[in-house]
Each structure stands twice: as C-alpha cells, then as structure tokens.
Amino acid sequence: MTLSNHRIAVARASRRIATAALVACAGCTSVADRSVRHEETGVNAVFRGESLGFREYQARSREMIAKTRLDLRDARAAQIVEANSPFELAPGVGCPAGRARPHAKGAVLIHGLTDSPFQTRDIARFLNSRCFLVRSILLTGHGTVPGDLLSVDYGEWVKQTRWALQGLAAEADAVYLVGFSTGGALALHASLEDGAPKALILVSPALKAKSRLDVLIPIGARVTRWLEVAPDDDYAKYESFSSNAAYQVYRLTGELEKRRATTPLAAPVFVALSAEDGTTDSEETLAYFSRLANPASRLVLYASGAPRFADARVRVVPAARPGERILEQSHISIGASPENEHYGRGSTYRNCKHYLRDAEAWKLCKTASPIPLGERGIPKPSGMIFARLTYNPDFEGLTRELSEFLDRVDARK
C-alpha cells in the first residue's frame, strides 16, 4: 500500500469511528433531556428585515422573542427579553456630529454562535463612551429557543450583517465592525466582500475550529440533530448546541478561508484572544494577523506561558491569576467585564457545559465554593473541578489597549 493510499484508508477509518461516536453520542446520558425548546418555532430561520429601519427591526425582534421564549414566567421576563434583543446606544451630549452624516463614528456589533446581543454589551458601552453610535444585532436563529438553529443557513447571517453595515453607513461618517467569535468571522467576511470599514475589532474570532475533527462536522450534521443537549440555564445564550449550527460555522469559515487567501485587508484590525482558547484555533488567528500589513493593527494575546513574537504589534498579557483562582482565559471571557451583571465576578451563573455527561461533576461545578476558573479542553490537575471563565479580569487593561488603537485610527487620514 502506498503512503497516499494508507492515508486515505486511515482517513476513511477515522470517519467511520467518528460517525459511530456521533451516533452513540446522540443517545448519551446527559444532565438534561430534549424538550419543546429543541424544536423550531417557525419564525426565526430567515432574516426578513432588509426593508426595515433599525428601530423597527428592534421592535419586531422584541416581539418575536416575547412570543417564543419559554422562560418568561417570572420577574426576570423583561430582563430576559432585553438581554436577547438587538440594541442601539446613541452618542451622548457633547459628542461631535458627523460632517456628512448625523454621527461621526458608528459601530456594528455582532455576537457569537448561540449567543445574543447581551454578549456585546460591555464593549458596546465602552465604544459608546467614546462617542460611537452603537448598534448590536441579533443573528437569525438566536434569542428564542435552541431549536431555531436547526435549519438556519449562514447566508442569512451574511445578509443581515450587510444590512446592518449599510444602514449604519447612512448614519455615521466612519463605520467600524466589531465581532465576537462567529461574529468576528462575519465582520471579516463583510470587510473582504463589501469593502473595508474604518477599522475592525475582533474578539476571539472564529477563523478556524480548534478541533482537528472539524472536517467531520458535515457528517455529524447528517447523523444527529444535536451535539450537546444542556439545561439552557443561561438566559443570554443557548447552551444546547445543534449539529446544523456547527455545520453553518464550518461553511462560513471555509468560505472565509478562501477569501482571506485571495483578498488583502487594508483596514487596521484590533484582535483580542486567548492562547488557550478551547473553541477556536488561536494559532490560525495569529498566523493571519502576521500577514496583515497595516502598521496600526494590534493584537492582545492572553497566555499562561510567555510566548515571544517578533511582531511589535502583538502584546502578550499573562492569563493565569493564581490569587483569583484563574487558570487561563477562555474563548468566552475576553470581551466581558468583571462587573458584568450576568457573567462577572459577582454572578451566580456558572458555565459547566464540560460536565454535561457527568452529573456528579456538574453538580460540584455549579455549587462548589470557591472554584477554579479556566478553559475547557485544557489539561487540569487530576480530580480538579472547575468552571469555565466567563469574564476578563483584565478588561480595564483591554479597553486601554483598545483606546490607544482607536486613537491611532482616528489620527490616520
């Protein structure tokens, strides 16, 4: 057998094993069972807002969320609708007006897969304090029930991003795109397809999946509808994860990879990510950043070690904080303030999805105090129970770096 044939045989065997694992996983014991929330509502798979202004889009989104959410039975109902709805923050009194349009600067914020606009609030507030008109959109399939990601197509997210970008361009002289994870991929996709914005801000951008088994995602989408079935006790995002959701990001990043290889990006880019990111491939992001020529671009890398880079545009920040029981930064922590009312230090919410199939560890993760915080998929000492870190203890430092970046962008003609 030739080396080439051997590799083909190994690949086929690996696919058979992975497919069998996916089939088995569909029936795995979990701390949660499927319910009505894992079925589609029928009203959130297609973006129908092309003809709407942003405020009408906001109103329709709120109405849809209020009609379809299944957890609006207590005093938190208004809070839950607010967290999941698209929002706008107008510049304050004293902010300069634009020369050709009502506002000088505007930013479109795009959340990640299974998230909601709430995930962008801390960075949105920071940008608004710098006189930005801020608009955060709700991606199609999100904000209602996890089942609404069963058939959505990533083309709807691309269409929606373009609509938001065009709408803001009519309101602000300079437009910025801000994206977290999948939102970062969409922001970069729009920049390469429709022309560069004034600048890009990417937080834990999803340029490539962390897992080397991501090539099997299309198989998984045909084998089982759900990769993870979770209690969904985070009111600001889905914790259940459908196969189609993973498949659509796989398609988006595949298309984006081709565009990145052929289309140069001239706009300055600010990137923040964790070296120990357990969801996306931080090495891929670092490699792409190294090929960006704009001298104003900056990258902040949170790392438990002390990696060195010849590129002076890269700043490494220690991720581990033993005094705070923080082991490393996670994919989801970078853009959230420690003061965040839901994900911050004082919150009662804990992300324990890495123990979905271990009821005892799940319970300990949810109740133990104090508890270490870190990233899933990163080796831990034997027997350690930890929760996934949901906030950035260095958020103030991150915004200082971002302020310097914005100053440099403002100074450019």
What is the model's pLDDT at position 213? 55
Q: Profile the chain (413 residues) by mean pLDDT over runs of 10 residues.
A: 38 40 46 86 96 98 97 93 98 95 98 98 98 98 98 98 96 97 98 88 95 66 87 95 95 96 95 97 96 96 92 97 97 98 96 95 96 96 97 98 97 77
Whether cis (ω within 30° of 0) applies to the bond prior to 370 is yes
The answer to whether residues 405 and 202 touch, using CB atoms and an 8 Å cutoff, is no
In single-letter form, the type of residue at position 145 comes to V
Q: Does a structural domain hold residue 375?
A: no
Q: What is the dihedral of CA 185, 273, 106, 408, to 10 degrees?
A: -120
The H-or-E segment that residue 66 falls in is: helix 54-68
Whether residue 83 lies inside any domain: the answer is yes
Burial-class residue 207 by CB neighbours within 10 Å (0-12, 13-18, 19+). Answer: buried
Amino acid at 317: V
- Residue 325 domain-assigned? no
Number of separate domains in the chain: 1
For the domain that residue 160 is a member of, what is the CATH number? 3.40.50.1820
How many Å apart are CA 383 and CA 405, to the nearest integer? 42
Identify whether 76 is part of a domain.
Answer: yes
**From CA 350, how far away is CA 359, in angstroms rounded?**
15
Task: Tell whether 329 is covered by a domain.
Answer: no
Tell me the residue range of the domain where 35 lies.
Answer: 31-320
CA 119 to chain centre: 8
Does any domain span residue 365?
A: no
Residue 387, both tokens: 């929760």
Residues facing 293 on adjacent strands: none
Helix spans in 323-394 (H):
359-367
DSSP string, 168-226: HHTTEEEEEEEEETHHHHHHHHHHHHH---SEEEEES--SSBSSTTGGGHHHHHHH-SE
Distance CA 192, CA 177 (A): 12
pTM over 0.95: no
pLDDT for the residue numbered 180: 98
Residue 411 located in a structural domain: no
**Residue 224 falls inside a structural domain:** yes
